[in-house]
Amino acid sequence: MNFTISEENYIKAIFRLQSAGKPVSTNALALELDTKPASVTDMLKKLKAKKLVLYSPYQGCKLSGEGSKLALSIVRRHRLWEYFLAEKLQFNWDEVHEVAEELEHVSSKQLIERLDAYLGFPRFDPHGDPIPDSSGKITIPDLVKLTTLRPHDRARVSGLADQSADMLNLLQQRNINIGTIVTVNKKFDFDKSLEIEIPENIPFVISEQTAQNILVRYEPES
């Protein structure tokens, strides 16, 4: 089966937005794709007809099995190209995304398999995000940066990327230690700082830089 660029972009957006199997709202999708809700409704009907999404009016949408498979293969293409751009063509990690957005829609299976082999089967892209393998499996790293968590995620602090005295001092002040359970309350887009909460303390804000240094392991829901 072959899909249009627009269809692929919708699938990718739904994949990005649907965390924990909750349905994705029409408005949220419109915002993500920088389009109008009416257009989203139109497209959801088409995607439903193609059995890529589960959708009923006013109930939001989810990816079907087929849809998830497609989403993973698009993410795979995107991240392999990002890796290629950064590794082979000397792009900075913050320049790769835009170009990869275009390259990801070139769908030759052979191309992607050979690119993967050429790059040495990398498992993470330049942003640290996992690259699905050819069967769609992704390696979930046990340690991730605190910045990769999303609001309401809970995790256990398990390591530090930077162990300088300044850093340790800062964490000490905030009662953050190895083993501490952290919950993310909010992410502030304008500076990417996080409001987090730890047991028996009032919520507080930490900067993106600090959050980058804190490595955590996902915790099962409480």
Partner DNA sequence: AATAATATTTAGATTTGCCTAAAAATAAAA
Partner DNA sequence: TTTTATTTTTAGGCAAATCTAAATATTATT
The reply on whether position 80 binds a copy of itself by CB under 8 A is no
Residue type, 180: T
Of these partners, DNA, a copy of itself, none, which one is at the site of residue 28 (CB under 5 to 8 Å by kind)? DNA
Q: Select from 59, 65, 118, 161 the one that contacts a copy of itself (CB under 8 A).
A: 118
Contact stretch for a copy of itself (CB under 8 A) within 65-73, 111-119, 148-156, 161-169 = 111-119
Of 35, 64, 158, 212, which lies in the binding site for DNA, with binding defined by CB under 7 A?
Answer: 35
The SS3 assignment for 36 reads: coil
3-class DSSP state of 192: coil
Decide: 213 and 160 in contact? Cβ < 8 Å. Answer: yes
Query: CB under 5 to 8 A by kind: which of a copy of itself, DNA, none does 6 bind?
Result: DNA
Gap between the Cα atoms of 167 and 160, Å rounded: 9
Binding flag, residue 98, a copy of itself (CB under 8 A): yes
CA distances from 14 to 6, 31, 52, 81, 208 (A): 12, 12, 11, 21, 26
> Choosing among DNA, a copy of itself, none, which partner's interface includes residue 57 (Cβ < 5 to 8 Å by kind)?
DNA
